[in-house]
Each structure stands twice: as C-alpha cells, then as structure tokens.
Amino acid sequence: MVSKVFIKLGGSFITDKAVPETLNGERITAAARMIRAAIEAAAAQGDALSIILGHGAGSFGHIAALKFSAVQGVHPEFGWQGLYAIREAMTRMNLLVLQRCKEGGLYPVTVSPFAVTQAKGGKVLRLDAENIQQLLLSEQIPLVHGDAVPDTERGFTIASTEALLAALGDRFRFDRVVMVSDTPGVLDQNGRTIPLIDRRNLDQMAACLGASGAPDVTGGMRKKVENLLALIRRGAANEARILTFSDRPEDLRDAVLGAGEAGTLLRL
C-alpha cells in the first residue's frame, strides 16, 4: 500500500518569527530523522510513503513580505523590490533547510514555486505539478515552500505553503496532511490542545482560533485550519493533523504513518 502524505514544517516551528532570519536548524534535523524513520517503518511492513515536503517562510519571507506589502504585488514606491527581497531570502532559507535535512538523513529535492506557479489577483491560479509527479514516481521527496510567485494582475504576489498544498491536493489527493507548528495543536480558550475537530464541534471551535502573534502575511492558525478543512471537504485530503514534537520527536514519525494521538486531528 502507498500512502500519499504532505508534511509542512511551519515557519513558526523552524524559525523565530519575531527575529529576522533566525533558523532553528536542530528542529529541522530532528524532523528529518523522524520522517526518515517513518519511511523505514512503512517499508518494514511492506508499505510505502509518497511524501511531498513543505516549509513555511518564517522570519525569512514574512518580514520582507510585510516590509514591501508584497501580497499586493508591485509597490507604488518600491516597485519590484519586494519580489527580489522575498525570493532572495527564501532561496537562502531553503538551502539552509536542505542542509539540515541532509544531517537528518533526508534528501528532498526543491521545486521552486516561482517556476511552477501562476497567480491571479493574489490567488494561485495553477501549479504545474509534472516535475513533482516525476520525482514521486522516482521515489524522491519534492520540497516546496512559501514564496513570491508571478501574478497576472499584480505582477507578483505571495503563495503560502497552504496555497501550494491546496493546488497539489487537487492533483494528488493526499491520504493525510501533517502540519508541524510551534504549538501542540489547535488550542482552546484555556490553552489546552483540542484533540479532534470534526462536524460535531466545528462551530464551537471557531471562537478558539486566533491569528499569529508574529509577522505573518498568510493568516495564522485560523487561516491554516480553514484551509485544511476546505481541503478535506473537497476530497483533496482525507485528514490532517497539527502538532509539535519538541518534547517527543516520535510524535512526528507516528503522525506521518497515520498513527499516534498527538496534536489536533481534523477530519470531516
């Protein structure tokens, strides 16, 4: 059996989003080890994992995006500077992420969102997934990340990792999505992790969802949950889990395998 999994290492997890360009390399290496462990555990049972990896922009891309109002594209004062600043920051960040993945025994292959994505009016219009498909068929791990992308109306705009996930989900129909955050899941108003969000408690959970406390042009936790639920509703993913693993790295391995109870499970 082959399970299709999308894993995102959130910008809030792998960087300090309040401090410009501060990468937490140890977390990336630990995550890579656990993803490798999940691949090996599945293989030992005669199964396979077809994985697309993503990472957020964190304190690399988001700070530049805010400075140049990059969601709106070409700036009346700064022109195309925002595109250059974000792409330069994300290229450097992605190289550091790849280096840290290598230390953890994982060798993903970056597919630049700028090269394969087109947006219109700030929304991803299409994503050419042919190279990603070929990498998966070759049992490789494609890696995408939040970035500035061409926009037919604005010149350029921001495509978050979640926006890329939405486009990829329509093509690949993921069995599960694993989102690694800096919080242990979706938290209720008392700071406790909500173990499950489904049809029965969806309305009650809406009041618990807040925005990010650090620079973030893509909407924080509320937007992430909304995007994941929309993905599940249209059949582009069966389920999603939001978790962290700073205390127990094995939670990420289990989540990738579709096991464990860490974090918040989203299922409709």
Nearest to 119 by CA among 73, 171, 78, 162: 73
DSSP letter at 145? E
Q: What share of the chain is helix, strand, coil (3-state, %, to 5)?
A: 40, 25, 35
Residue ranges with strand state E in the chain: 2-9, 48-55, 109-110, 117-120, 123-127, 142-145, 147-151, 155-159, 176-180, 196-197, 240-243, 264-266
Q: How many CA atoms lie within 13 A of 23 on its CB side?
A: 22
Per-residue pLDDT of the chain (268 residues), as tens digits, is: 999 999 999 998 999 877 899 999 999 999 999 999 999 999 999 999 999 999 999 999 888 888 899 999 999 999 999 999 999 999 999 999 999 999 999 999 999 999 999 999 999 999 999 999 999 999 999 999 999 999 999 999 999 999 999 999 999 999 999 999 998 998 888 888 999 998 777 776 666 665 445 554 445 677 888 889 999 999 999 999 999 987 789 999 999 999 999 999 999 8
pLDDT at 218: 47
Question: C-alpha angle 253/259/262, rounded to 5°?
Answer: 75
Which of 68, 61, 83 has the alpha carbon at shortest distance from 17?
A: 61
Structural domains of the chain, ranges and CATH numbers in brackets:
2-266 (3.40.1160.10)
Round to whole Å and give the CA distance between 217 and 77: 20
Helix (H/G/I), strand (E/B), else coil: 84: helix
- Report pLDDT for 19: 87
CA-wise closest residue to 155 among 84, 55, 216? 84
